[in-house]
Structure 1
Amino acid sequence: MPARSARWLLVPLGAWALQLTQVPVWEPVWVVARAGVEVAALLLVLAATLAARDGRWAPASAVYLLPGLVYVAENLLGTGARGFLYWSVLTALVVASLVAARRVHAKA
């Protein structure tokens, strides 16, 4: 495998920082903004995986998503339809990134 920049390690650190941000639940503008940033970031992960032909972006996004899915599992009864839709979209983007990374790895 060719040498890659170590800057890709900043992705999980940035993702964890985003995960730790505390958004006030009573301000829907911030909730929607954060959701938009997360979806955009995961779309960039998918694009980077395909464009750079580097599968490291996909596991970084999975590392980001895992704590959120654990939180949803712990609060399953309190999660509404919008919450399930939100987490389903994030999960679908991460799975698409993992599939793309596997295909990139298989072609190499």
Structure 2
Amino acid sequence: MLPLALVEVADFVINQGLYELITFDCEHGFGASPGSQYKWFQVLYQVGSFVAKSSIKLIQFNMTALIFLLPLLQFLNMVTFIFNAIYAFVPHFGVVCALVLYTKVSSVAQHM
């Protein structure tokens, strides 16, 4: 139960606390304003959830091996987003969009 709780806490911190702190200028953000970028992060978050939940029957995981790996990956995702919010080292909006999708897919994988 603890690994699931760790994944959920990290997912909540990323979604509710860090997405709004990550912004790009128009040159590196596909011309989108910071408010629009945040909306895209939320859309991609929900798309990642839909993709992961709808592919439960297609992809089967050995949960014994992944039960401790997935919380570690989600914690690393959270640390990556924290450092990017502070230091802005990710060069483009598209990279963060891919990270948002990956973060939600790896979060939902814990429930499979």
TM-score tier (shorter):
0.3 to 0.5
Which is helix-richer, 1 or 2?
Answer: 1
Could you tell me the TM-score, scaled by structure 1's length? 0.34
Q: Which has the higher contact order (CA 8 A, sep 6+)?
A: 2
